[in-house]
Amino acid sequence: MTIDQLKEKFIEKYGEGDFNGYFSPGRVNLIGEHTDYNGGFVFPCALSFGIYCLIRKTGRKTVRFASLNMDFEAEVSVKELNKPIGKEWVNYLIGVFAQFLKRGIEFESGADILIYGDVPNGAGLSSSAALEVVTAVAINETYNLGIGRLDLIKMSQKAEHEFAGVMCGIMDQFTSCMGKENHAIFLNCDTLDFELVPVKLDGAKIVISNTNSPHKLDSGKYNERVSECRAAVEAIKPYKPISALGEISLEEFNKLEDKIEDDTIRRRARHVVSEIKRTQDAIKELKAGNLGNFGKLMNESHDSLRDDYEVTGFELDTMVEEARKIDGVIGSRMTGGGFGGCTVSLVKIEAIDTFIKQVGENYEAKTGLKPEFYVAEISDGGKKLF
């Protein structure tokens, strides 16, 4: 849908008058999975599709919410922008408003808000983070609140924790807010120090493959992994005082892993610590122009997520297996929280058509699900469009 079409939809819904539009992107993580909530490194980039928020400040004392993707609509008093409505999509926006209220900000006037997203829902490309970030950016600018980007990121993450019940790390919101065209973000999730690294793929493209097996982070499995990692930290603490797995090197972990008696907890920790090392190594390889080595590390990342972290599943594993059979695939792995969703592959340009055709046919034959493919472009983070 074009910007002009979105503007027409807003006027149809709310009438003539001045209003503004904002956009925040979804993200794909190239490597560094399930490390963010463990204080480790990640390497995501913002995508060219995401969530649009059209907003008009009004004289009423209510905020009206509508979406071109969802049927449910709501009108909420400015005094009650901290109370969730069942399990509806509007809670992501209300959750963000609630963070402003927590800061002592009172909304004297309401707003009309229209949301449109072209991120595939349930694909693991962070449509929820994009929704939170675009809402935070739009509120901040519409009401001239002057809150800095890092605070908006943290507020968006809190909205996910408190209103969606998913104890996510900060990567998704950070990427949606801070992304830069043709760059990926090498982010230390402990300190929030980051480096924008140029992504020079020299004859290759990022291809995202949607398994169409929707991931469900709120199913409890994600929060279960968070708890298992905390248990690993507690087991290691008597021998090395750490507060997160990101504080221990792979070499140190190899010496201490037998102190973790539970085999499942040990394997969860092994994935996290080794994934942090892989991510650091992958940045060096990318900067040196060694795409082949970067791809090998992507492959190793998926295998670790499959065997030690157990967050892949039949559909994701099948997609990766079929991708790796194609000549011209440099590396392929699951991306996002897992339990369904998408894979990310580096594919030579001349092999992309073959990749989409053969992987699509073979995946569908084995799973009964029809996949979707996106050749990704790397975009800017949350911004005002008009």
DSSP-derived letter for residue 8 is H
Q: Quick one: angle between helices 171-178 and 149-159, nearest 10?
A: 140
The residue among 98, 280, 312 whose CA lies nearest residue 211 is: 312
State how far Cα 271 lies from the chain centre. Answer: 19
The residue among 106, 107, 89, 93 whose CA lies nearest residue 54 is: 93
Its sign, for the CA torsion 299, 304, 307, 309, is negative
47 bridge partner residues: 378
42 bridge partner residues: 187
Q: Quick one: angle between helices 263-287 and 221-236, nearest 10?
A: 100
What's 144-159 look like in SS3?
A: CCCCCHHHHHHHHHHH
278-293 in b/e form (b: 16+ CB < 10 A) is bbbbbbebbeeeebeb
Do the Cβ atoms of 272 and 42 come closer than 8 Å? no
**What's the rounded Cα separation, in Å, for the pair 38 and 31?**
15
State how far Cα 146 lies from the chain centre. Answer: 25
373 bridge partner residues: 209
Active site residue 303: no
**What's the rounded Cα separation, in Å, for the pair 329 and 355?**
8
**What's the rounded Cα separation, in Å, for the pair 110 and 159?**
20
Do the Cβ atoms of 217 and 241 come closer than 8 Å? no
Rounded to 10 degrees, the C-alpha dihedral 303/204/372/184 comes to 70
Contacts of 357 (CB under 8 A, 6+ apart): none
- Which stretch of DSSP H or E encloses residue 56? strand 44-57
Catalytic residue among 36, 112, 172, 308: 172
The residues that are catalytic are 172
